[in-house]
Amino acid sequence: MRVGLTGGVASGKSTVANMLAELGAVVIDADALAREVVERGTPGLAAVVEEFGDELLTPEGDLDRPAMGRLVFGDESARKRLEAIVHPLVFERYAELEATAPEGALVVHDIPLLAESGRADGFDAVIVVDAPTETQVERMLEQRGWTLEDAESRIAAQATREQRLAVATHVIENTGTLDELRARVRAVHDELAVRA
Ligand SMILES: CC(C)(COP(=O)(O)OP(=O)(O)OC[C@H]1O[C@@H](n2cnc3c(N)ncnc32)[C@H](O)[C@@H]1O)[C@@H](O)C(=O)NCCC(=O)NCCS
Ligand SMILES: Nc1ncnc2c1ncn2[C@@H]1O[C@H](COP(=O)(O)OP(=O)(O)OP(=O)(O)O)[C@@H](O)[C@H]1O
């Protein structure tokens, strides 16, 4: 059973993914893979440096993620050039990890850009974590210390709520407490697990 999990930035995807993992699902996290493929010393990071220059590296030689974020979320063509390097590497790692999942497992693919990718049809079910834009912005400002401009530029780089909801088979509203979220996640998990 291959389940896609998506949602806008700071909607609560990782929180939901962690709750699903606690319930026994195997979670593959695209954001984590996108970090792994550009770690220090990787061919991915070398490709990024070739494209964008080494001023986007920290003195230690890591990708300067805040600086890269400011660049790509303010410049669509730069974002597309970064995605063209990172996304194929992420898909490669995805295929490798998926092949190691145990038979009969509920395999959850946490993919922030699933609606944008046009790949939602390839999943048996698609869970969309949904929250109003104001809630997303509040979480980014309060819990991540981003500026309003950082928050709004990430939202602008993503599909709209409506576009995301259009690919959902299951919607998880994340507007209440974490306990309410956990109860909704359990209900969706239990429904999908019997089909796995
Ligand atoms: C620009 C980068 C270096 C900024 O790193 P940073 O640590 O600040 O953010 P992080 O990677 O944790 O992403 C946080 C969230 O930002 C949003 N986001 C990230 N990349 C993108 C993108 N290309 N388009 C729209 N939203 C994005 C997602 O909601 C994601 O969950 C990084 O986001 C990146 O490498 N992005 C390109 C790769 C990508 O598309 N990743 C998304 C999943 S494959
Ligand atoms: N129902 C909730 N009540 C309070 N805080 C919440 C709730 N849901 C999520 N959060 C908090 O909001 C922040 C964003 O959640 P999370 O990291 O799960 O979002 P995300 O969609 O994975 O974000 P990103 O797109 O950046 O990866 C986190 O600090 C999380 O603890």
DSSP line for 67-117:
HHHHHHTT-HHHHHHHHHHHHHHHHHHHHHHHTTSPTT--EEEE-TTHHHH
Question: Could you tell me which of 43, 71, 41, 39 has the C-alpha nearest to residue 56?
Answer: 71
Give residue 118's region: left, alpha or beta (phi > 0; psi -120 to 50): left
Residue ranges at the known binding site: 10-15
- What pLDDT does residue 104 have? 86
Atom 14 in ligand 2: which residue has the minimum CA distance? 10
- What pLDDT does residue 23 have? 97
Cα–Cα distance measured from residue 164 to residue 32, given in angstroms and rounded to the nearest whole number: 21
CA of 194 to the centre of ligand 1 (A): 33
CA of 99 to the centre of ligand 2 (A): 29
pLDDT digits (tens, 9 = 90+) for 147-192: 999 999 999 999 999 999 999 999 999 999 999 999 999 999 999 9
**Per-residue pLDDT at 103 exceeds 90:** no
The pLDDT of 128-139, averaged and rounded, is 96
In which element (H, E) is residue 6 found?
Answer: strand 2-7
Ligand 2 neighbours, Cβ below 6 Å, are: 7, 9-15, 31, 112, 139, 143, 174, 177-178, 181
Torsion of CA 87, 92, 97, 101, to 10 degrees: 100
Phi, psi of 116 (to 5 degrees): -70, -30
The tokens describing 93, both together, are: 């790692």
The tokens describing 106, both together, are: 């509920």
CA of 122 to the centre of ligand 1 (A): 22
- What pLDDT does residue 110 have? 96
Taken in order of first residue, the domains within the chain and their CATH numbers are 1-25+106-196 (3.40.50.300), 32-104 (no CATH)
| Residue 83: Cβ within 10 Å count | 15
Give the percent of the chain with pLDDT over 70.
100
Handedness of CA 33, 35, 37, 40 (dihedral sign): negative
